[in-house]
Amino acid sequence: MPIARPAASVALEGFELRVLHLPLVSPFTTSFGTETVREVIVVRAMTADGEGWGEIVTQDAPLYSSEYTQGAWDVATRFLIPALLRRGTVAPHEVAGILEPFIGHRMAKAGLELALLDAALRLEGRSLGDHLGAVRDRVPSGVSVGIQRDPAALVETVRGYLDEGYVRIKIKIKPGRDVDDTAAVRDAFGGIPLQVDANSAYTLADAGTLAELDRFDLLLIEQPLQEDDIVDHATLAKQLRTPVCLDESIVSAKAAADAIALGSASVINIKAGRVGGYLEAVRVHDLCRDASVPVWCGGMLETGIGRAANAALAALPGFTLPGDVSASSRFYRRDIVTEPAVLEDGHVRVPTGPGLGVEIDPVALDEVTVEKVVVRS
Ligand code: OSB
Ligand code: MG
């Protein structure tokens, strides 16, 4: 359902941006690289009546998409924030329109919009979940498992997550680390809900290898081809029994509609950062629901800020598959919020407090801050 009542305007006075370096509990390897420290930008919107927090989910290098930390920092401080401050008083649903003249940079826009949503909803005493249309008080929790040293190590890592209670396993694959890794997990754990994510590592020439995955009864294969391979994904989907799910390709509600119309995806991963914000994410959800296309909530190794927002989003009715909304401890020993998301019976609770429903731990935040700037009106 579209959002019925927009959040109120806030009187903007400035924005604080911080680059954080959060050490990961273990290295995270995908087809595009290995991370040991999560570099991310945290946003604080400063208003006449309070503050609000957001997160820009770019990584240090443009490997998942074209966005990256210093690019987001530059565009936010030089163009996006000044445009918002020139308006003075802004409601969250106006942010996308104000920033529309600036092409792309969706993660940067999403982080700023989230900070305004948090600020506005805190003032109104409404939770982000209520605002977006959440219909559940907790969401089933899946886990994204990076490529390990070998299939045996992968099996042991997956075993640990299953023991913790995660209800769905996603493993990362790349050429040469696909069929054997998937077979090892399927053989070790029988009929667990299992899916794979290629992060664009294949081409249509690999269709034969990808079809070998059909025998593992996967929930889906995520983003086998490049971001702009929208026609090739449709061609590939016809050759696979495994449902094709798109992540990187879905950069907006329009892109989602096009992918569905072309038959490029039968499942969609929704990430607010990738589509330019939580409000656009709800629009993607709504159109997928109208088209009976199942969606699930993706993740970008969020801090407690984005993790709380993702739990709220994943509680919308069209999110019929478990998302990558895992406990904070999956990635971090110490989060920057006072009550990090925990796993309870394979689920993560949807916060109910005003705005994001989580509070920042200022000491923990300072400890991982490596760069800070304040841009004022
Ligand atoms: O493709 O879903 C992805 C992390 C960084 C960049 C891209 C992806 C991921 C993940 C992790 O798979 C999901 C999570 O945050 O748990
Ligand atoms: Mg993905």
List pLDDT tens digits, range 2-53: 887 899 999 999 999 999 999 999 999 999 999 999 999 999 999 999 999 9
CATH number at residue 77: 3.30.390.10
CATH number at residue 163: 3.20.20.120
Reduced to 3 states (helix: H, G, I; strand: E, B; else coil), residue 348 is strand
CB-CB contact of 342 with 129 (8 Å): no
State the average pLDDT over residues 244-270: 98
CA distances in angstroms from 120 to 44, 88, 91, 106, listed in the order given: 13, 14, 8, 21
The first and second tokens of residue 254, run together, are: 């329009």
Cα of 203 vs centre of ligand 1, distance in Å, is 20
User: Would 2 be classed as within a structural domain?
Assistant: no
Catalytic, out of 109, 170, 174, 271: 271
CA-223 nearest atom, ligand 1: 1
Distance CA 272, CA 278 (A): 5
Cα of 97 vs centre of ligand 2, distance in Å, is 27
Q: Are residues 181 and 309 in the same domain?
A: yes
pTM of the model: 0.98
DSSP state of 357: S
Q: How many domains does the chain have?
A: 2
Q: What is the residue with the minimal CA distance to atom 1 of ligand 1?
A: 199
Q: Are residues 119 and 209 in the same domain?
A: no
Catalytic, out of 109, 170, 172, 174: 172
Q: Are residues 36 and 109 in the same domain?
A: yes
Q: pLDDT tens-digit profile of 113-141?
A: 999 999 999 999 999 999 999 999 999 99
Distance CA 243, CA 172 (A): 16
pLDDT for res 2? 81
Q: Are residues 293 and 244 in the same domain?
A: yes
